[in-house]
Amino acid sequence: MPIEVDEARYAALEGAEKLLNTLLNNKDTGAEQHKLIKKVHPAHQVPIDPETVVAEARAAAKAELAERERKERDAMVEKKFQDDLNSYRLSDSNPNGFTDEGIEKIVGLMKDRTIPDVHAAVALWRQMHPVKPEPPSGYVPMGWNFGNADKDDEKKKLLLKDPDRFLDLEAREVFEEYRRMDRQ
């Protein structure tokens, strides 16, 4: 059953349709109008806006690229840190290096004092914990070892025979040696 519409009503409906299509198809207002219609009529199908899709894809790609670059940068920093740390590790090529326990202590020092540089932390550690000198070997020679065996034998005999004369000769040699050093 057809509905009859007078000319004025028809012109008003046609104008409203034209206005609605203009609002929906305008790039500045279309997305907002579709959202408003979707609020009132949830079944409304919002057309896909290619600019929005491209913009969202671009933003997602940038975020993924930034995340990948951050991970690669972090991996490079971690690798350099481990390489620097391993250069101080005890090995055949580095007999004066640190054991695993020593490396852990250096890393702990770095964390405690917020030292970002491995080399600076190792230098600080070595300054705080200087290497103790090795004790002398158990072998101690029993002779006086003056150098020349014949002359030494004569000096030993003189020492045992006349200690005062021996001291006079030794003192004279020492004084002469100091005089020679002063001339140079």
**Per-residue pLDDT in tens (0 to 9) along the chain, 184 residues:** 677 778 888 888 888 888 888 877 777 887 787 778 878 878 877 776 667 778 888 999 999 999 999 999 999 999 999 999 989 898 888 888 889 999 999 999 999 999 999 999 999 998 998 878 777 666 665 655 555 556 667 888 888 889 898 888 888 888 888 787 766 5
What confidence score (pLDDT) does residue 70 get? 96
DSSP calls for the chain: -PPP--HHHHHHHHHHHHHHHHHHH-TTTHHHHHHHHHHH-TTPPPPP-HHHHHHHHHHHHHHHHHHHHHHHHHHHHHHHHHHHHHTTB--SS-TT-B-HHHHHHHHHHHHHHT---HHHHHHHHHHHSPPPPPPPPS----S---S-HHHHHHHHHHHHH-HHHHHHHHHHHHHHHHHHHHH-
What confidence score (pLDDT) does residue 132 get? 80
The first and second tokens of residue 94, run together, are 């580095």
What confidence score (pLDDT) does residue 147 get? 57
Q: Which residues contact 44 (CB under 8 A, 6 or more apart)?
A: 34, 37, 38
For the full predicted model, state whether its pTM sits above 0.85: no
